Chain A
């Protein structure tokens, strides 16, 4: 049993004389609020202070986060959400490629990547590579124009995943899921593609899917327009909770 483990939840009666031990039950209960981790770590274990032990919670003002102590280190309280935002990268001005580092890790097997806002210098489509790999990408896009003409594009053994998102002079659009980019397994891609009103490529929308046929573990990815440059907008990476 830990130093702070309780064996009862007492109720005091009217007129009862409360001892220091009684008062400490109240003083040590509840979630203490600290400015940051430095203030928190200084608040336990000293003379007249509570012993830090398994089960202790805290709230940190600087990160607005609630954590608990597992006996060895502080851990984030599990979120109820199935998706966790890993990074948000603002695209610079007139760039030809954007690399997002440390997007993938052992924490998650599967990821969602979205690009919203911003604009392209010309109508184009997004392409993506993982790490520095420029071989063995396969991709297919099945699409329908907005005036109902169906078509498709596809290729295997390519140098990138081509045509996975839309770039127009009024907006950027990319919405894909990646399975296994960090694992030493094939990486699979799936998502949807929808052009903005000013695109003029296929004037339509569709679904994209593909595979990177190797078993390399990746932490980074790079997106770029098929032609021209992109400006503004945000690349967000989310991790799907494994459990």
Chain B
């Protein structure tokens, strides 16, 4: 298990197991969001490729 350092005001200490779990849960949520965004972008690009349009051309066409 990774060791995280947390800071409360001016005090820095190692995270407890519970705090470590909270940090990793939020980081996992962010990673999932990034993956979802990448998948969305890939799907969008696939449609543009199929239509033979660049992103700028699509923006000009659809606003």
CA distance A89 to B33 in the complex (A): 30
Given contacts A99-B8, A227-B30, 15 further A-B contacts (CB under 8 A): A89-B7, A89-B9, A90-B10, A92-B12, A93-B12, A96-B6, A96-B23, A97-B15, A98-B6, A101-B9, A153-B37, A158-B29, A159-B25, A162-B29, A162-B33
CA distance A136 to B6 in the complex (A): 23
List residues of chain B with CB within 8 A of the CB of A100.
9
Binding site for B on A (CB under 8 A): 89-101, 125, 127, 134, 149-151, 153, 155, 158-160, 162, 224, 226-227, 229
B17 within 8 A of A: no
Binding site for A on B (CB under 8 A): 4-10, 12, 15, 19, 22-23, 25-27, 29-31, 33, 37, 41, 55, 59
Which of B7, B27, B29, B55 is the one whose CB lies under 8 Å from A98?
B7
**Given A92-B12, A134-B22, CB of A99 within 8 Å of CB of B6:** yes
Which of B8, B12, B27 is the one whose CB lies under 8 Å from A227?
B27
B2 to chain A, nearest CB (A): 9
Which of B9, B30, B59 is the one whose CB lies under 8 Å from A127?
B30
List residues of chain A with CB within 8 A of the CB of B55.
149
List residues of chain B with CB within 8 A of the CB of A125.
30
List 24 A–B pairs whose Cβ atoms lie within 8 Å, in order of A's numbering: A89-B7, A89-B9, A92-B5, A95-B6, A95-B7, A95-B12, A96-B5, A97-B4, A97-B6, A97-B7, A97-B23, A101-B9, A127-B30, A134-B22, A134-B26, A155-B33, A158-B29, A159-B25, A162-B29, A224-B23, A226-B30, A227-B27, A227-B30, A229-B4
The 8 tightest CB contacts between A and B, nearest first, are A96-B4, A92-B12, A226-B30, A98-B7, A99-B8, A95-B7, A97-B6, A95-B5
CA distance A90 to B7 in the complex (A): 10
Q: Nearest CB to that of B44 among chain A residues? A: A151
Q: Nearest CB to that of A92 among chain B residues? A: B12
| B contact patch SS | helix
Inter-chain contact B7/A91, CB cutoff 8 Å: yes
| A contact patch SS | strand
B5 to chain A, nearest CB (A): 5
List residues of chain A with CB within 8 A of the CB of B7.
89, 91-92, 95, 97-99
A11 to chain B, nearest CB (A): 55
A49 to chain B, nearest CB (A): 40
B49 to chain A, nearest CB (A): 16
